[in-house]
Amino acid sequence: MSLEKNRKTADLLTICNKARKTVKGFDSVRACAEEGKAFCVITACDASPKTVKETEFVCGRCGVAVLPCGLSKEELGKLCGKATAVIAVTDKGFAEAFGRILNAEK
C-alpha cells in the first residue's frame, strides 16, 4: 500500500476518532455491526488471518464493508489510543471517505 494512501488513511482516522465515530476492538466492532451502527470496518495490515476471517464473516452477514488498510495494529493504536486490529466507523460520510481512499488504485 502506498505511503500516500497510508497518510490519508491516518489523517482521516484521526479526525474520525476525534469526532467519536469509531469503535475499537473485535468484540465491540462485532456488536456495532450486528446493531446496524457500523458503516465500514477497517482492518490492520498485520491483523491475524483468523481475526480478518471472523471480521469478514460477521460483516458479510450484516452487510458492512471490510476495508484492509496499510497501517499496523501499533500504528492504529497510536492514532486511536488503543492498539487494535479492527476499527468500525459509525458515520456514513467517514465510511464513504475511507472507501474512496482504500479502494483507489495507486
Q: Looking at 1-10, 35-44, 57-66, which range is the least confident one? A: 1-10
Range of 61's domain? 3-103
Indicate the pairing of strand 65-68 with strand 40-43.
Answer: parallel
Q: What pLDDT score does 82 carry?
A: 83
Residues 6 or more apart in contact with residue 21 via CB below 8 angstroms:
89, 90, 91, 94
Q: What is the mean pLDDT of residues 81-94?
A: 92
Q: What is the mean pLDDT of residues 80-91?
A: 91
Question: What CATH number should be reported for the domain holding residue 21?
Answer: 3.30.1330.30
Cell reading at 29: 466492532
How many domains are contained in the chain?
1
Task: Judge whether residue 18 has pLDDT over 60.
Answer: yes
Q: What is the mean pLDDT of residues 4-16?
A: 91
Q: What is the mean pLDDT of residues 39-57?
A: 94
Task: Judge whether residue 84 has pLDDT over 80.
Answer: yes
